[in-house]
Amino acid sequence: MKKTKSLYHGHRFPAVVINCAVRWYFRLSLSLRDVEESLLERGVVVTYETIRCWCDKFGARFARLTFPSPLM
């Protein structure tokens, strides 16, 4: 049986942190620096550039899961 790698494989931070940052950016319309500050308040040191990369990479997937397209 072949295991598929996680979408988050190779990232420094756990999937929970990445999902949280991407969710806050898109759902709450926070700026990248606001998301960076919110994570820092929770003890996660990450730059806004890293969050931007996550949003570029995982944003489309997040949008598909959050806002499914209507069935025709």
What pLDDT does residue 35 have?
Answer: 97
CA distance 67 to 47: 27
- Give the domain ranges of the chain: 15-62
CA distance 2 to 19: 26
pLDDT surpassing 80 at residue 67: no
CA distance 20 to 24: 6
Average pLDDT value for the chain: 87
**Per-residue model confidence as pLDDT tens digits over 44-58:** 999 999 999 999 999
**Per-residue model confidence as pLDDT tens digits over 2-11:** 677 778 888 8
Spatial CA neighbour of 62 closest among 7, 3, 12, 5: 7
Helix axes 15-27, 32-41, angle to 10 degrees: 130
pTM comes to 0.79
